Chains A and B, each alone.
Chain A
């Protein structure tokens, strides 16, 4: 712990890591709540894995993979959103296909990029300690954009997630609202990839929100609790993983998973002792 504090004070990389962790917590708390209540975990998984395609292509052509990630995440959100609305019957098959093909494209491009391919692992499993200073600024902008959009469209998102049919009767553009929501989830995915990598994004997107749901009475409360939990998980993950030199992303996810498990058991026990009041 002391050593960690020492590193935190003296080294920029650890400060960056903490800042990214906090930025990610807010994004995953807010957008993860939508993912959980709207039950679109699989769709979000599809978006996040397809992102590897964009990162790989950007990497191959010498662009910043983070920019490739933003663009490919948005494209994936729109394509997958369109597929889920238009071809409802085959939704899971089509998203599964996009998921795998997107990753495969990414792997091919990264493989063909000349030089030492160490980056593939950090895309897949994250490497929060290696994120550069300029990326932090971009992630902060994305965070701001997500929060601003949710502030502006909160009541629409709530209505469409809770009762799509009634929202349609109220003259709300259900399709555009849904696609906007998926785009914001896509941007969240890009932020989370920096922390835990593509493979583990779903954990950070769902576990804090799913844990928060046990204690929240409203969606806003759920978002706030999930953000605080996210901050606890990422920060404690960084602290725990530092000394034994464990991968930070995986450590954060294990902590989040344990917290969810404990919350679930406690909730079950509480329900048993108090009868089923709430």
Chain B
């Protein structure tokens, strides 16, 4: 895969909630084929940055381009994986129906999903290795299974970029590893940006790290050292040195 096409371009972006600046002067570029980890402590503006890239919220200042277009136009190429904890676990909906939501944009406006939509959902579930869960109720699944369902939903639209928000939050270590393995495999075909507060672990899988804490503390192009990450978290953190391949 060529490494020179710009997938996301964020330039001098500021964002505020009620006058409180949560992102300040963020500039970063994601290129085709990248697997970028966006790390930072809780409340550092990581999720906000994702939502700006998706065009769900608009920056106070600065410019965002996704596949050379505005976020609203570029989002058709994005598969988004939100945090599953924000979805209602008591909602009566099957895994298949959750995955099909990812085809809503392509499916006819009224009436049922077409055969092609169901076929695409089957393929996406296969890719996320959850075909056997097809008719289970979403709310009864474990955290790791839910995560895979949401990944299948993101994949069903054949995205060129996957955005994931804390994919391993409230998931135990082994399942976490499985999910990163799957992402690594997907990265052969799609560009991936994932947000996590868990720095140590993701550095084994990603090829770039952006450290956000209101400002962009370490630029992804820089060599990542313990010092820059400590600057980001403003305190010493546990870091696995051997996994850093930058």
CA distance A228 to B80 in the complex (A): 38
Is there an interface contact between A219 and B93, defined as CB atoms closer than 8 Å? yes
Partner of A222, one of B92, B97, B101: B92
> Does B111 lie at the interface of the complex (its beta carbon under 8 Å from any beta carbon of A)?
yes
For B101, give the chain A residue with the smallest CB separation: A159
CB distance from A143 to the nearest CB of B (A): 20
B87 nearest in chain A by CB position: A163
Alpha-carbon gap, A147 to B98, bound state (A): 23
CB of B105 within 8 A of CB of A165, answer no
- B56 partner, pick from A37, A153, A165, A219, beta carbons under 8 A: A165
**A158-B87 contact given A166-B80, A278-B140, CB 8 Å threshold:** no
Report the bound CA distance from A165 to B80 in whole Å. Answer: 10
Q: Given known contacts A155-B100, A218-B97, is B91 in contact with A162 (CB within 8 Å)?
A: yes
Give the chain B neighbours of A217 by CB distance below 8 A: 92, 94, 135, 137
B residues 79-112 in Cβ contact with A at 8 Å: 80, 82, 87-88, 90-94, 97-98, 100-102, 104-105, 107, 109-112
A167/B101 in contact, CB under 8 A: yes
The segment from A59-67, A103-111, A168-176, A257-265 that touches chain B is A168-176
In whole angstroms, what is the CA distance A40 to B82 when docked? 23
Question: What B residues does A222 contact at CB under 8 A?
Answer: 92
The size bracket of the interface on B is 20 to 34
Bound together, the chains give a CA A163 to CA B89 distance in angstroms of: 12
Residues of A contacting B87 in the complex (Cβ-Cβ under 8 angstroms): 162-163
CA distance A239 to B162 in the complex (A): 59
Provide the bound-state CA to CA distance between A37 and B139, in Å: 13
Q: How far is the CB of B87 from chain A (nearest CB, A)?
A: 6
CB-based contact B104/A170 at 8 Å:
yes
- Report B-chain residues with C-beta under 8 Å of the C-beta of A172: 104-105
| Contact yes or no, B92 A155, CB < 8 A | no
Closest CB in chain A relative to B113 CB, distance in Å: 6
A49 within 8 A of B: no
Q: Which of A162, A168, A169, A221 has the most CB of B within 10 A?
A: A169
Chain A residues with CB under 8 A of B113: 155
Nearest CB of A to B93, in Å: 6
A108 CA to B151 CA in the complex, in Å? 56
Determine the chain A residues whose CB is within 8 A of the CB of B208 once the complex forms: none
Residues in A neighbouring B92, C-beta threshold 8 A: 37, 213, 216-219, 221-222
In the complex the two chains form, is B80's CB within 8 Å of A162's CB?
no
Contact residue among A154, A170, A219 (Cβ-Cβ distance under 8 Å from B101)? A170
Count A-side interface residues using an 8 Å CB cutoff. Answer: 28
Q: Which of A154, A162, A222 has the most CB of B within 10 A?
A: A162
How far apart are the CA atoms of A274 and B76 in the complex, in Å?
45
B46 within 8 A of A: no
B102's contact among A165, A170, A171, by CB below 8 Å, is which? A170
Q: Which residue of B lies closest to A222 (CB)?
A: B92
Closest residue on chain A to residue B135 by CB atoms? A217
Chain A residues whose C-beta falls within 8 Å of the C-beta of B98 in the assembled complex: 162
A218 and B56 in contact (CB under 8 A), knowing A152-B111, A163-B101?
Answer: no
Query: Is there an interface contact between B104 and A159, defined as CB atoms closer than 8 Å?
Result: yes
Closest to B94 in A: A218
Q: Mark B59-83, 1 if CB is under 8 A from A, else 0.
A: 0000000000000000110101010
Residues on B facing A (Cβ under 8 Å)? 54, 56, 75-76, 78, 80, 82, 87-88, 90-94, 97-98, 100-102, 104-105, 107, 109-113, 135, 137, 140, 153
What are 18 residue pairs bridging A and B, where the CB atoms are less than 8 Å apart in the complex?
A37-B88, A37-B91, A152-B110, A155-B107, A155-B113, A158-B93, A159-B101, A163-B82, A169-B80, A170-B101, A170-B102, A171-B76, A172-B104, A213-B90, A217-B94, A218-B97, A221-B92, A278-B140
Give the interface of A toward B (CB within 8 A).
37, 151-156, 158-159, 161-163, 165-172, 213, 216-219, 221-222, 278
| Interchain residue pairs A-B with the least CB separation, the first 4 | A170-B104, A170-B105, A152-B110, A159-B101
